């Protein structure tokens, strides 16, 4: 028997007993065996645990029991601590770290019945936009350009999650988004990704990059799939001081709301210089699709947008410098001995961290240092307040914003700019929402001239993921994105 399910359709088929969880899990494990040696989307595979969990899921389903995700095979970004399963953050410094505890997000997914097939690759410590900074090798995007076999980047940092979903190796995956690390790879790989409001999903047990920005979210084939996952992932957690105690809505039910009567804002500052014409055209298509569905299109201004990237890279790197100070070779993680404590620190960090992580630690330490704190970090925090105010003022006029997700489609591994700043520019459309803490999502909406996916981004009000998902569902239906990558499992059992 052969099948090609979305998460939602697999859920329904499992409940009707049209397929078993064991069949579904085995089919996806076989797909991983066939394709992932090339894609390298997994760091750690857990087939034995997955098969055992599938048997238990079938027992529950036979009794008419089980949670919303019972029997659904997922992948977990290797930034989430998983009890008794290696968690590396794609860094040599955590090469053999096996947590004795579970992150809240993965615990919530387990409670809902989801089955993990393993830990997914990422940019080291979630620092990157290409998934080429991983200590375990880069991830290949399953998409190909027309007439070319060049390896494309999947985006980052959640590139392993995006590639695994796009290739059909899992039905959904967890990601984390600090400045676009769910949305940009979702766009590059032709899938849907949601960054919830900051505080909607617990950060407990998620290895920190920038604590005031990091937020977990779902990555899946469709908007409906993401809505189902997000409802399971979200919720108040007293173990996370930034978790917000708000009820979690029934997100899937919100999909049928439509956009009739909604006001959709088009921020003029996102029409940047040198925006590729095909991305501008896709954006215009998105505007027409929402208007035809009954939305009112309103031009808005987010005047401090141009300060988003520098503000983000000051604030995020400063927090990274502080968060990564714990990796010193003393308490846990890899250790390289030295003749003194200073030498132990230096040798451990030199061997354990990759070049991009070292660069960000050094820059973050610099902006926090005496004499530079006021000039850089404090000023960045003030500008961040202005950026947040821009969004709040815009939402006095509109309900949701529509923009491109990224300034390009996926590029080849060997086209990676040597200047790190050029790589950072991939986040130009995604970092403002992160700095403001508002929810945002990327929906696949078309292909560029080379046959590579392009996404459109929707940005919503704080804790109004329901409107965001409803608008995303309308976009998805209008775009009718049914393309599949060259490297796709075509899961069968």
Distance, in Å, from the CA atom of 51 to the CA atom of 58, rounded to the nearest integer, reads 11
In this structure, what CATH number is given to the domain that contains residue 230?
3.90.1300.10
Q: What is the pLDDT of residue 3?
A: 64
The catalytic position among 116, 129, 134, 181 is: 181
> 77 catalytic, yes or no?
yes
Q: What is the pLDDT of residues 247-286, one digit of tens each?
A: 999 999 999 999 999 999 999 999 998 899 999 999 999 9
> 9 catalytic, yes or no?
no
In a domain, 108, yes or no: yes
* pLDDT of 95 higher than 80: yes
In a domain, 292, yes or no: no
Confidence of residue 493 (pLDDT cuts 50, 70, 90): very low
Confidence of residue 1 (pLDDT cuts 50, 70, 90): very low
Lowest mean pLDDT of 54-63, 227-236, 414-423, 469-478, name the range: 414-423
* pLDDT of 309 higher than 80: yes
Confidence of residue 371 (pLDDT cuts 50, 70, 90): confident
Q: What is the pLDDT of residue 492?
A: 52
| Beta carbons within 8 Å of 77's beta carbon, 6+ residues apart | 119, 120, 122, 158, 160, 161, 173, 174, 175, 176
Distance, in Å, from the CA atom of 422 to the CA atom of 147, rounded to the nearest integer, reads 27
Are the C-beta atoms of residues 331 and 299 closer than 8 Å to each other?
A: no
Q: What is the pLDDT of residue 185?
A: 98
- Mean pLDDT computed over every residue of the chain: 95
* pLDDT of 477 higher than 70: yes
Q: What is the pLDDT of residue 439?
A: 98
Average pLDDT estimate for 361-374: 92
Q: What is the dihedral of CA 382, 441, 226, 444, to 10 degrees?
A: -160
In a domain, 290, yes or no: no
Confidence of residue 149 (pLDDT cuts 50, 70, 90): very high
In a domain, 411, yes or no: no
In a domain, 220, yes or no: yes
In a domain, 451, yes or no: yes
* pLDDT of 484 higher than 80: yes
Confidence of residue 491 (pLDDT cuts 50, 70, 90): low
The catalytic position among 20, 41, 77, 116 is: 77
The catalytic position among 20, 103, 157, 243 is: 157
Lowest mean pLDDT of 14-23, 64-73, 114-123, 333-342, name the range: 333-342
In a domain, 408, yes or no: no
Q: Which domain holds residue 201?
A: 7-260+440-479
Q: What is the pLDDT of residue 378?
A: 93
Residue with tokens 């830990």: 119
Q: What is the pLDDT of residue 447?
A: 97
Q: Which helix (H) or strand (E) holds 265?
A: strand 263-267
The domain total for the chain is 1
In a domain, 119, yes or no: yes
Q: For the beta carbon of residue 258, count every other beta carbon within 10 angstroms.
A: 15
> 103 catalytic, yes or no?
no
Average pLDDT estimate for 387-406: 98
Distance, in Å, from the CA atom of 215 to the CA atom of 89, rounded to the nearest integer, reads 15
* pLDDT of 421 higher than 80: no
């Amino acid at each position: 028997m052969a099948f090609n399910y979305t998460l939602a359709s697999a859920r329904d088929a499992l409940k009707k007993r049209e397929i078993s969880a064991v069949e579904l899990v085995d089919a996806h494990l076989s797909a991983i065996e066939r394709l992932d040696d090339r894609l390298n989307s997994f760091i750690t595979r857990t087939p034995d645990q997955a098969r055992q969990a599938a048997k238990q899921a079938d027992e529950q389903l036979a009794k008419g029991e089980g949670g919303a995700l019972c029997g659904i095979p997922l992948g977990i970004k290797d930034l989430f601590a998983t009890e008794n399963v290696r968690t590396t953050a794609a860094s040599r410094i955590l090469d053999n770290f096996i947590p004795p505890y579970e992150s809240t997000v993965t615990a919530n997914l387990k409670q809902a019945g989801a089955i993990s097939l393993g830990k997914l690759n990422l940019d080291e410590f979630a620092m990157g936009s290409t998934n080429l900074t991983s200590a375990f090798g880069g991830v290949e995007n399953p998409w190909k350009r027309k007439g070319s076999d060049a390896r494309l980047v999947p985006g980052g940092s959640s590139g392993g999650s995006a590639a695994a979903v796009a290739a059909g190796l899992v039905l959904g995956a967890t990601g984390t988004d600090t400045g676009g690390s769910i949305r940009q790879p979702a766009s590059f790989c032709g899938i849907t990704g949601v960054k919830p409001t900051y505080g909607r999903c617990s950060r407990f047990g998620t290895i920190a990059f920038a604590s005031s920005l990091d937020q977990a979210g779902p990555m899946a084939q469709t908007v409906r799939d993401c809505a189902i996952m997000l409802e399971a992932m979200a919720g108040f957690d007293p173990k996370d001081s930034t978790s917000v105690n708000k009820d979690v809505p029934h997100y899937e039910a919100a999909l049928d709301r439509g956009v009739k009567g909604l006001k959709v804002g088009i921020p003029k500052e996102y029409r940047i210089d040198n925006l590729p014409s095909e991305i501008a055209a896709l954006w215009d298509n998105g505007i027409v699709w929402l208007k035809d569905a009954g939305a009112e299109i309103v031009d808005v201004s987010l005047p401090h947008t141009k300060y988003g990237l520098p503000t983000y890279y000051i604030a995020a790197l400063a927090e990274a410098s502080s968060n990564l100070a714990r990796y010193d070779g003393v308490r846990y993680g890899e250790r390289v001995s030295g003749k003194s404590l200073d030498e132990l620190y230096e040798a451990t960090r030199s061997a354990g961290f990759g070049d991009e992580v070292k660069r960000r630690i050094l820059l973050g330490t610099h902006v926090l240092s005496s004499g530079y704190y006021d000039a850089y970090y404090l000023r960045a925090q003030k500008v961040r307040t202005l950026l947040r105010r821009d969004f709040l003022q815009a939402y006095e006029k509109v309900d949701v914003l529509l923009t491109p997700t990224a300034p390009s489609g996926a590029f080849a591994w060997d086209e990676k700019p040597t200047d790190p700043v050029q790589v950072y520019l991939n986040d130009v459309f995604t970092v403002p929402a992160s700095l403001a803490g508002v929810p945002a999502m990327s929906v696949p909406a078309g292909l560029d001239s080379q046959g590579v996916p392009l996404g459109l981004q929707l940005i919503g009000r704080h804790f109004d993921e329901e409107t965001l998902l409803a608008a995303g569902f309308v976009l998805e239906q209008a775009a009718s994105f049914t393309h599949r990558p060259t490297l796709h499992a075509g899961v069968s059992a």
